[in-house]
Amino acid sequence: MSRFAAPIAEQIWDMKYRLKEADDTPIDADVEATWRRIARALAEVEKEPAKWEDRFYAALEDFQYLPAGRITAGAGTGRAVTLFNCFVMGTIPDSMGGIFEMLKEAALTMQQGGGIGYDFSTIRPRGALVEGVAADASGPLSFMDVWDAMCRTIMSAGSRRGAMMATMRCDHPDIEDFISAKADSARLRMFNLSVLVTDPFMEAVKADADWQLVFGGKVYRTLKARDLWNRIMRATYDYAEPGVIFIDRINAANNLNYCETIAATNPCGEQPLPPYGACLLGSVNLARLVTHPFEDDAALDPARLDEIVATALRMMDNVVDASRFPLEQQRAEAQNKRRIGLGVTGLADALLMLGLRYGSDEAAAQTEAWLKQIARASYLASVELAKEKGPFPLFEAEGYLASGNMMQMDDDVREAIREHGIRNALLTSIAPTGTISLYAGNVSSGIEPVFAYAYTRKVLQKDGTRTEEEVVDYAVALYREKFGTNAELPAHFVNAQTLSPLDHVKMQAAAQKWVDSSISKTINCPEDISFEDFKDVYMKAYETGCKGCTTYRPNDVTGSVLSVSDAEPKSAETPVLVSEGEGSAEVVYMSEPLERPQTLEGATYKLKWPDSEHAIYLTINDTVIGGRRRPFEVFINSKNMEHFAWTVALTRMISAVFRRGGDVSFVVEELKAVFDPRGGAWVKGKYIPSILAAIGGVIEQHLIAIGFLEGEGMGLKSDPRAQVVNLDGPRGKACPSCGQYEMRMVEGCMTCASCGHSKCSG
């Protein structure tokens, strides 16, 4: 029998984690082979590899312990990839040479798929004097635009995507520009943004006191702290960014505050890290550890939890030695501190199995108890590792015990650390687990509530057709298996749509008490929440001990959350094409590919690339929707056989994008951004960075000629906002990976419920 609890789980495994040859031939015969590959790779650094391989396999079996996706996909493959998820880059120097050296390091890290964080507070503000060149500084936002372009270029070159986080202190003179940057929906789209909020600032907000914006000891401006806070809140209310990071609390709670200062986090915020800090992630699947679910004696098996935690910790410690690192500084930082981020997933499902309502006082208390048990088990297991393999190199007993979370740790754990040291400086974190949760049978994600009991997903079959399948939450499926498919769900079954924002905050605060890093969590807010109530969510998060706060309120910029039904989930209705008046020529977004008419009109273009023996011919055919001509398909041909494979791939991919409908002008933007490291060419007096960029230019000229684009480098000729009629209510934005209208905010990251695509991971 298959180990997978749902068809979607097997598909996620096959698509993202199964080891395959370059031609897509499977190497991992089944998921057991995947578990064995990971177990063997992480046991290789042990003195008794065979013994530990079997123990590691037992922890992985049946999805009890879930290493992060990069470990699952990369361990034991022999490929040049990092097994670490999170990196914070070095401190950016306030000099042109230093800034671009940091840009190069970021590109090298992103090539290997690492998500990176940067603090841009160290760059002098816009308009500040640049000594020696008689010029004014352009400010940190201008350099963030450069980083953004770099990330797009790395992605265009075919590298696995890694997201970026940019932070800025609340007292930086350019903080207001930083806060409003995402008001332009086309700007900084490769970044998540968060403001580093200090304790003095929060006290000034409460007191309605003045607040100074300072750089290099110079006061640039004084304003009311409450006015600045309201600007942060209004931006987040209107377009979901920036997030808020309580940076002083992070540094005060850091076990390593005796030897490091933190000013940035990884893209989803669960890992505050020092310069060149790196962390790897993994999660214990609580939903798999509940005995007698939905019965009076339902309980989470404490002995099995301790056993899984200890084994998982050893596996993660071994990753530090088994992984590659993009930069030497990252390797040194990881090995000197050996920090890991062991967390949980399936928390909400586990609570449901015990009869507890997510967001209730009882559920919060149970969450705190489970996280404390995991913290104790982690620290004690790390002490045992220190006895065997030695503590982390920068360990200093008195400094460590007097800092951070260690001040509240139980006395027996503190004494064990004092006597033997500890192998890993920090041990716990709640990471985004969207994809691995699907892989584990659609258990609830991280410490999030169940988002939807069920939804319909379109699945691409091998013959190219699509079938619909119902994806059911793991706990719901288990309940109905136990009590009948038509059994009514008990009252304690709640989901993200029915919870109040303060229930979310309560659960985050309960978990944070025993998590020594931080938590990736989204607090869902209803669209009609008042601005004052919205601000109260952030103040409550600060007052209850959270290290940061990320909310999601449906809005015009980010779109709506996935519309779901609480009872019997229905298949999504097909969107209807609409036109608002004669000649309006609206852009129409489709969740299904456009049908191809029998005949299409088009044009063929000849592209001659210097030093190439044969020309490339592009044929672009168009269709007409709502009275407007738009691109439908592309054919790219050349007699140069060196071009054959990539021209066929490009033909298929661009045509697939065009047939989705909507604003496809981004194809031009992405192609024109591709550069060839061997050099571009001058064509008709203009430098073109690559042959792919030249193809993008030809497509752009065609789109201008048919009236789809206004002009070169310009946007759509009409309003690009989608006009979609959905009989079941509002939808989110279309997924850039599969085209389905099922993007939703999960654990601080826009994630597709249909295919698992996430803005924050590959």
Report which of residues 291 and 153 the model is more confident about. Answer: 291
Q: Which has the higher per-residue pLDDT, 707 or 175?
A: 175
pLDDT of residue 586: 35
How far is Cα 114 from Cα 161, in angstroms, rounded to an integer?
A: 8
pLDDT tens-digit readout, 257-271: 999 999 999 989 999
Write out the catalytic residue numbers.
266, 268, 270
What band does 134 get if pLDDT is binned at 50, 70 and 90?
low
Closest CA to 117 of 80, 93, 152, 92: 92
Assess whether pLDDT exceeds 90 at residue 673: no
Residue 205 reports pLDDT greater than 70: yes
Mean pLDDT: which of 161-165, 378-382, 634-638 is highest?
378-382
Check if the beta carbon of residue 125 is closer than 8 Å to that of residue 173.
Answer: yes
- Kindly state the average pLDDT of the residues 230-254: 95
Q: Are 740 and 746 in contact (CB under 8 A)?
A: no
Q: Look at residue 315 in the predicted model and tell me its pLDDT.
A: 98
* Structural domain spans, the chain: 1-85+276-520, 94-252, 601-724
With 50 as the cut, is the pLDDT of residue 567 above it? no
For residue 509, what pLDDT is reported?
97
Predicted confidence at residue 572, as pLDDT, reads 31
Which stretch of 76-90, 119-133, 166-180, 554-568 has the lowest confidence by average pLDDT? 554-568
State phi, psi for 554 to the nearest 5 degrees: -55, 135
**Could you tell me if 76 and 17 are in contact, meaning their C-beta atoms sit under 8 angstroms apart?**
no
CA distances from residue 652 to 490, 638, 655, 754 in whole angstroms, order as listed:
48, 15, 5, 22
**CATH second-level architecture of 1-85+276-520?**
Alpha-Beta Barrel (3.20)
Please write the tens of the pLDDT for every residue from 190-203: 899 999 999 999 99
Q: Quote the pTM value.
A: 0.77
In angstroms, the CA 651 to CA 616 distance is 12
The per-residue pLDDT for 252 is 95
What is the pLDDT of the chain when averaged over all its residues?
86
pLDDT in tens, 553-566: 886 655 544 444 33
Judge contact between 146 and 138, C-beta under 8 A: no
Counting other chains too, the contacts that 55-61 makes at CB distance below 8 Å and 24 or more residues apart are 55/311, 56/311, 56/314, 56/315, 58/311, 59/308, 59/311, 59/312, 59/315, 60/35, 61/35
CA distance 166 to 96: 18
- Please report the pLDDT score of residue 539 as a whole number: 97
- Predicted pLDDT at 733: 58
DSSP 8-state code for residue 726: -
Given a cut of 60, whether residue 172 has pLDDT beyond it is: yes
Q: SS3 of 283, please?
A: strand
pLDDT of residue 641: 77
**pLDDT tens digit sequence for 392-409:** 999 999 999 998 889 999
Q: What's the CA gap between 516 and 676, in Å, rounded?
A: 44
Q: Could you read off the pLDDT of 98-110 as tens digits, one per residue?
A: 999 999 999 888 8
- For residues 156 and 241, the model is more confident at 241
Of residues 221 and 456, the one with the higher pLDDT is 221
Residue 274 in this model has a pLDDT that exceeds 60: yes
Q: Do the strands 749-752 and 551-552 form a parallel or antiparallel pair, or are they unpaired?
A: unpaired
Q: Which pLDDT value is given to residue 353?
A: 98
Tens of pLDDT, residue by residue over 442-493, are 999 999 999 888 887 766 565 556 667 788 999 999 999 999 988 999 999 9
Tell me the C-alpha to C-alpha distance, in Å, between residue 386 and each of 317, 321, 404, 462. Answer: 11, 15, 20, 50
- Give the pLDDT score at 161: 54
Interval 514-533: pLDDT, tens: 999 999 999 989 989 999 99
Q: What percent of the chain has pLDDT over 70?
A: 85
Distance of CA 570 to the CA centre of its chain: 28
Mean pLDDT, range 562-587, rounded to an integer:
34
pLDDT at 583 over 80: no
**Is residue 139 within 8 Å of 174, Cβ to Cβ?**
yes
Burial (CB < 10 A; 0-12, 13-18, 19+), residue 491, is exposed
Residue 25 — very low, low, confident or very high, per pLDDT cuts 50/70/90?
A: very high
Task: Choose the weakest-confidence range: 79-93, 267-281, 348-362.
Answer: 79-93
pLDDT score recorded for residue 646: 84
Task: Give me the percent of the chain exceeding a pLDDT of 90.
Answer: 59
If we measure between CA atoms, which residue out of 262, 305, 260, 257 comes closest to residue 284?
A: 305
